[in-house]
Structure 1
Amino acid sequence: MNQVVTITEAAAFQIKDMMKQNEEEGSFLRIAVKGGGCSGLSYGMGFEQEKGDDDFLDEQHSIPVLVKKEDAAILNGTKIDFKQSMMGGGFTIDNPNAIASCGCGSSFRTAVNAGTPEEC
């Protein structure tokens, strides 16, 4: 499969900095979808030491990126960026498959996967 998620240069810089601060150099960056949130699905990002049999592996900006095969269709075409503002900085996730999201911006649903919504 081609690249599932695109990581911008700004996001890659922040991820590498986080890897260094948390002594995670040599780890994989896991990008995932999990049930929950106001709209039914939410994003997850974290570091892992091992690749699973059901993972797609991609490398961007020298960062090895893992996405579970079951999450790939939901995340396909997603762009992860890092924006800095006067209030601080944070990752932004632009998923073209999301048809609805809640006000917090971290929860969404797709046309084929509504997830498991929670009370906001």
Structure 2
Amino acid sequence: MSTETAQGNDESGTVEVTEAAADEALSLLKSEGLDEGVAGLRLFVQQGGCAGLSYGMRFDDAPEEDDTITEHNGLRVFVDPASQNYIEGSVVDYESGLQAEGFHVENPNVVSECGCGESFRT
């Protein structure tokens, strides 16, 4: 794993991505026609949900100037400074099963979640 920021290298508080999640995200990124050497998965926190905060994910063509950038199994992950405080130490995984399929964030900073697991509070 490598980590870059606009201010230099900083390994503290980074987000981890499992191999399954990185493989799925890279497959989706390629299907969107994005360059995996420059583009990446943006992980962010936004206001919303019954517990107050929710996760967001999208592909970005390139990182913003002040993003923390990490690489996991070939996948670049971008996190903005405001979101970093809420999700540092989290693990992004991809689960596929009979009941549900998708990305899941395991966040050690969460003190409570809503019943459906879509929002949280730190």
TM-score normalized with structure 1 length: 0.84
Write 1 or 2 for the structure with the bigger share of strand. Answer: 1
Q: CA deviation at 1:21?
A: 1.9
Aligned match of 1:95: 107
After TM superposition, what 4+ stretches of structure 1 lie above 6 angstroms from structure 2?
A: none
Within the candidate set 60, 72, 82, 1:60 is matched to: 72
Aligned match of 1:18: 28
Q: Percent identity?
A: 36
TM-score normalized with structure 2 length: 0.83
- Listed as ranges, the gaps of 5+ residues in structure 1 are 111-120
Q: CA deviation at 1:58?
A: 1.0
- Cα RMSD of the aligned pairs, angstroms, is 1.4
- Listed as ranges, the gaps of 5+ residues in structure 2 are 1-9
Amino acid in the other structure paired with 1:83? E
Between the aligned partners of 1:22 and 1:92, the Cα distance in structure 2 is 21
Deviates further, 48-57 or 38-47: 48-57
Count of residue pairs the alignment pairs up? 110
